[in-house]
Amino acid sequence: MKKFYVVGDKASKSLSPTIFNYWFKKYNINARYGYLELTEKNFHRKIKEVLKKKDTIGLNVTIPFKNKIIKHLNKIDVHAKKIGAVNCVTNKKTKIGTNTDWTGYYKTLPNIKKTKNRKVVILGYGGASHAIHYVLKKRGFKEILIFNRSKRKIKYSNKAEYTKTFSDLEKYLDGVFLIINTTPINPILKKHLKFISKSTIVSDIVYNPKNTTFLKHFPKNKKIHGISMLIEQAKPCFKLWFGKNPSVDQKMLNLIYKKI
């Protein structure tokens, strides 16, 4: 039996096993998808062991190992190289790393025209944030403001640019088109809400619960829920492993929504 895993420090809480095991059953694939909950201390030793096993065919990698996995791979795709993070591993004749987070987020965005002059705010600057920043640049957004707990150098820029701190948020929220929370916390405080329009689209990549503390701040705003990105980034992983696009049906969605 072919084996697949989601790897992370909170992997037991992931809905990836629910998604992939549903597809395995639907398409009569003799495979099982589980989880590997690892720590910073044991990650490198354990991941070597699991990649050596012939029945391990694929991994999905989540926080905080999307960068650390790269040293265990033979090659990574162009997008993973630019983003500096891998969330999908194919372990067949050779160990190949891919980033499908960026395309997963791309698929969740509404069909937006005239992106050039629209302001976007990204909260947090970890691996998923890098992928989202990457796709927003590809979509043509020119004004992308990134806020983080600590000062970090921003990728995909020809000049030395750095993240802003959460304490500076209120200076930049006026007229924002899209706010994306990539952190497990909620950096938006009550004092910030008066600066945010009801026409602003709000997005959270955390998917459990569906309506996160961040999203609950905006009952009347258009929302992009985290579960959309999880499903959309999973579809190209399935295609890499099995050569076909899986479908997302209502039965699968019902199964997922019962758990969030």
Q: Does 44 map to a domain?
A: yes
Tally of domains in the chain: 2
Quick one: pLDDT band at residue 160, thresholds 50, 70, 90? Answer: confident
Residues 32 and 65 in one domain: yes
Whether pLDDT at 234 is above 80:
yes
Whether pLDDT at 123 is above 80:
yes
Summarize pLDDT for 170-220 with one digit per residue, the tens: 999 999 999 999 998 899 999 999 999 999 999 999 999 999 999 999 999
**Residue 50 pLDDT:** 98
Rama region for 140: left / alpha / beta (φ>0; ψ in -120 to 50; rest): left
Q: Does 76 map to a domain?
A: yes
Rama region for 24: left / alpha / beta (φ>0; ψ in -120 to 50; rest): alpha
State the pTM of this model.
0.92
Q: Does 135 map to a domain?
A: yes
**Residue 231 pLDDT:** 97
Q: Let me know how many helices (H) and strands (E) the chain has, helices first.
A: 9, 12
Residues 151 and 212 in one domain: yes
Q: Does 172 map to a domain?
A: yes
Mean pLDDT is lowest, of 121-125, 145-149, 158-162, for 158-162
**Residue 227 pLDDT:** 95
Whether pLDDT at 57 is above 90:
yes
Residues 249 and 215 in one domain: no
Averaged pLDDT for residues 141-162: 88
**Residue 111 pLDDT:** 78
Q: Does 141 map to a domain?
A: yes
Domain CATH for 175: 3.40.50.720
The owner of tokens 């065919």 is 57
Q: Which residues contact 187 (CB under 8 A, 6 or more apart)?
A: 123, 124, 147, 166, 169, 181, 214
Residues 141 and 115 in one domain: yes
Neighbouring-strand partners of residue 234: none
Residues 123 and 216 in one domain: yes
Neighbouring-strand partners of residue 88: 60, 98
Residues 50 and 13 in one domain: yes
Residues 149 and 184 in one domain: yes
Structure tokens at 45: 């030793």
Residues 95 and 133 in one domain: no
**Residue 110 pLDDT:** 82
For residue 176, the Cα-to-chain-centroid distance in whole angstroms is: 22
Q: Does 105 map to a domain?
A: no
Quick one: pLDDT band at residue 127, thresholds 50, 70, 90? Answer: confident
Q: Which of the 8 DSSP states describes residue 235?
A: H
Residues 125 and 47 in one domain: no
DSSP string, 121-174: EEE--SHHHHHHHHHHHHTT--EEEEEESS--B-SS-SS--BPEEGGGGGGT-T
Quick one: pLDDT band at residue 245, thresholds 50, 70, 90? Answer: very high
Q: Does 196 map to a domain?
A: yes
Phi, psi for 145 (deg, rounded to 5): -105, 125
Summarize pLDDT for 64-121 with one digit per residue, the tens: 999 999 999 999 999 999 999 999 999 999 999 999 999 999 999 887 777 778 999 9
Asked if 222 is an active-site residue, the reply is no
Q: Does 106 map to a domain?
A: no
Range of the domain at 150: 111-221
Whether pLDDT at 159 is above 80:
no
Residues 172 and 206 in one domain: yes
Averaged pLDDT for residues 128-152: 92
Residue 61's nearest CA partner among 41, 78, 80 is 80
Q: Which of the 8 DSSP states describes residue 53?
A: S
Handedness of CA 40, 104, 170, 151 (dihedral sign): positive
Residues 18 and 72 in one domain: yes
**Residue 73 pLDDT:** 98
Residues 154 and 134 in one domain: yes
Domain CATH for 53: 3.40.50.10860
**Residue 115 pLDDT:** 75
Considering the candidates 41, 54, 66, 220, report the single residue annotated as catalytic. 66
Mean confidence (pLDDT) of the chain = 94
